[in-house]
Amino acid sequence: MEKTAGLSMGAARHARRRGLPRRLPVLATLSGPLLLAGCAGDAPSALNPGGAGATRVAGLWWLLFWISVAVFAEVMALLAWALVFRRGNARVRHGQPLRFVTIAGAGLPFVILVAVYGVGLRDLAALGDGPGPDAPTVEVTGHKWWWEVRYPGASGATANEIHIPVGERVKVRLRTDDVLHSFWVPQLMPKTDLIAGETRETWLRAERPGSYRGQCAEYCGTQHAHMAFLVVAQPRADYDTWLAHLNAPARAPRTDAERRGQQAFVQGTCAACHAVRGTTAQGRVGPDLSNVGSRWSIGAGAVPNDAGHLGGWIANPQTVKPGNAMPPQPVDAAQLPDLIAYLRSLE
C-alpha cells in the first residue's frame, strides 16, 4: 500500500514536470490494484487462498473492498451532481437537507457498519472453530530466527518446514523459546502470535497439494525477515510415509566422503548444538539436521539449500545471516567438502 502511494506521488510530480495531463497520476493510482492482481499466480498472498481459513479472510476482504467502492462511487456521484446540476440553484426546500444528512450521513453508514460487523463476527467464530481432538497435530516452536517443528509421538524433528495431509484440519500448537513471534501462512490462515510462557493454538487446512510459504509476522530482531517457513500439503499416504521417516534413523553415509563427514560432524563442534537421528549427535540448541539435505532453504529462507551456500554457511554463518546463534566454525579446508557431502546426503 505504501509502495503504491509512493509511486503515485512520484508519478504526480513527474507528470507536472513534463506538463502531462493531470489525469495521468489518477489513472496510475487506479490501475495499481489491477497490476498487483496480475502478479497473483502462486504468490503467498491472503487474496490467493489455498485453504478454508484464508478463504474466509479473502471473502471478508473482498466484501469490504466492494462496499468501499460502492460508497466511494456514491459520494463521487453526489459531489458531481452538486457541482454540475445544483450550481446557482439556491432554492432548497425546508427540511430536505436535514432528512438527506440523516439518511445518507448516519442511517446508511450505520446499516453498513452493523452488517459488516455481523459478517466479521461470523467469520471470527468460524476461524476459532478448530479441529477435533483426534486431528493430526504439529508442535511449532519459534526461535530467533527459525522454526522448530515436532510431531507428538514422533521422535524426530525438522525445521522451517511443516508437512500436513491435504484436505484435513491440522492442529498447530505454538510456543516461543524467546521473544514474540507471529505464525502466518497467508494462503492458509491469518496470523497467530507466539507469546512467551503460553501455548497458543491455530489450525491449517490446505485444499490442494503444494507448498505454501509462511513468515514470521511480528518484528523479532535483526533477522525477522529471514524467519520464513514452508507448509507442504501432501496426500494422506505421502504424509504418513513422511511422518514414518521422521521416526527412523537418518540415512547412513554411503561414500567415503560422507563417512568422513559424519565423523567430523559427531566428533566436532557441530554435535554440541545439532542432532542427527541414529548418531551420537543429540544437540538441541540448533535445528535437527536429520533431513537437512531435503529442505528448501538454509537459515529459514536466508539462502538456497545447495552445496555452495551450505559450505559458506558452515564456514561463517554470520556473513550469511548476521546475528544468528551459530558461531563461525573452525573447520579445516580439507574437512569442509566431506561435511558438505554428509549433510547433503541427509534427506
Contact footprint for ligand CUA (CB under 6 A): 142, 145, 181, 216, 218-220, 224, 227
Rg from Cα positions in the chain = 27
Shortest distance (Å) from residue 324 CB to ligand CUA:
12
User: Which of 159, 154, 340 lies closest to 253, judged by CA?
Assistant: 340
* Nearer of residues 181 and 213 to ligand CUA, judged by Cβ: 181
Burial class (CB in 10 A: 0-12, 13-18, 19+), 162: buried
Burial class, 179, CB count within 10 angstroms (exposed 0-12 / middle 13-18 / buried 19+): middle
Please give the Cα distance from 150 to 162 (Å, whole number). Answer: 9
Q: Which is nearer to ligand CUA, 56 or 181 (CB)?
A: 181
DSSP code of 104?
A: I
Closest CB 12 distance from ligand CUA, rounded Å: 35
Nearer to ligand CUA, 216 or 314 (CB): 216
When the beta carbons of 145 and 151 are compared against ligand CUA, the nearer one is 145
Nearby residues of 236 by Cβ (< 8 Å), 6 or more positions away:
165, 166, 168
Task: Considering the complex, state which of residue 217 and residue 341 has its C-beta at the smaller distance from ligand CUA.
Answer: 217
Q: Based on CB atoms, which residue is closest to ligand CUA, 162 or 216? A: 216
Nearer to ligand CUA, 173 or 259 (CB): 173
User: Taking the complex as a whole, how short is the minimal distance between the CB of residue 210 and ligand CUA, in angstroms?
Assistant: 24
Any idea what the Cα angle at residue 140 is, between residues 277 and 299, rounded to 5°? 70
SS3 call for 140: strand
CB-nearer residue toward ligand CUA: 148 or 338: 148
* Shortest reach from residue 230's CB to ligand CUA, in Å: 16
Give the nearest distance from C-beta 226 to ligand CUA in angstroms: 9
Closest listed residue to residue 171, CA positions, set 196, 208, 140: 140
Q: Where do runs of H (alpha helix) occur along the chain? A: 2-17, 23-38, 52-84, 96-100, 108-128, 236-247, 256-267, 270-273, 307-315, 317-320, 336-345
165 exposure class (CB count in 10 Å sphere: 0-12, 13-18, 19+): buried
Closest contact distance (angstroms) between CB of 161 and ligand CUA is 16
Q: Residue 303 Cβ, how far from ligand CUA at the closest point, in Å?
A: 18
Q: 266-289 as b/e, with b when 16 or more CB fall inside 10 Å?
A: beeebbebbbbbebebebeebbbb
Q: What is the largest CA-CA distance in the chain?
A: 97
Least distance (Å) between residue 224 CB and ligand CUA: 4
Dihedral, 227, 206, 153, 218 alpha carbons, nearest 10: 30
Closer Cβ to ligand CUA, 36 or 180, answer by number:
180
Name the minimum Å distance from CB 328 to ligand CUA: 23
